[in-house]
Structure 1
Amino acid sequence: MEEGISKEDLRQFGISLLKAVRDLVQPGIESSKPDTEPEWLKSRAVRKLLDISPGTLQNLRINGKVRFRKVLGSYYYNKPDLMELFSENKN
């Protein structure tokens, strides 16, 4: 099942596009805004990042390995939790 483009996806794209335009118009000037990288990632992004199946991601969710939120039928996962999971698995 394919996931469509959500309003959040479009918002993130708009933020990155606006930053790119600012950088072109005002080269060398750092943006005063904090990093716009999302703190919460959709299931598809997590599966791609971790190279795991939907079932494995579900097991991580069920076992409480990562925090998640369900919004309008889509699961979002906490990026810092995922990065912590990476560092634990590497040691």
Structure 2
Amino acid sequence: MATEILTREDLAVFKAELFTELRELITSHPAQPRKWLKSYEVKELLNISSGTLQNMRINGTLSYTKVGGLIFYDYADIEKLMTTTGPNKR
């Protein structure tokens, strides 16, 4: 069995090739948003407080699904809300 010795230059070339391939993979397949988001994600996305999110649930502005003790929001509904209300009307 032959032994191969890797040099620092070999590792540097491998690293450069790996990063190039990863970059191509990421840019050719952009990340898809998840279908369901949790409350903390919706609050960050809309830049709102817990109370505001609760009011949006209560008055029907934002639909939700409750599974056990967790509340989930459909990403498509949030997108629709953001496009209909605009950034300054939330």
TM-score with structure 1 length normalisation? 0.58
Counterpart residue number, 1:4: none
- 1: CA distance, partners of 2:32 / 2:79: 17
Equivalence for 1:79: 75
Q: Secondary structure at the match of 2:73?
A: strand
Is the contact between residue 61 and residue 67 of structure 1 (CA under 8 Å) also seen in structure 2? Answer: yes
Residue 43, structure 1, aligned to residue 39, structure 2? yes
| Separation (CA, whole Å) in 1 of partners of 2:84 and 2:33 | 22
Q: Provide runs of 4+ in structure 1 moved above 3 Å.
A: 27-31
Normalising to structure 2: TM-score of the pair? 0.59
> How many Å separate the matches in 2 of 1:80 and 1:66?
11
Post-superposition shift, 1:53?
A: 0.7
Where structure 2 has 5 or more consecutive residues not aligned to the other structure, the ranges are 1-17
Structure 1 gaps of 5+ residues are: 1-23
Measure the CA separation in 1 of the matches of 2:63 and 2:72.
8
Cα distance in 2 for partners of 1:63, 1:81 equals 15
Equivalent AA in structure 2 for residue 38 of structure 1 = R
Q: Could you tell me how far 1:37 is from its partner in structure 2?
A: 2.6
The alignment of Structure 1 onto Structure 2 pairs a total of residues equal to 66
The 1-side partners of 2:69 and 2:32 are apart by: 24
Which among 56, 59, 71 is matched to residue 63 of structure 1?
59
Displacement of 1:72 in angstroms is: 2.3
How well do the aligned residues superpose, as a CA RMSD in angstroms? Answer: 2.5
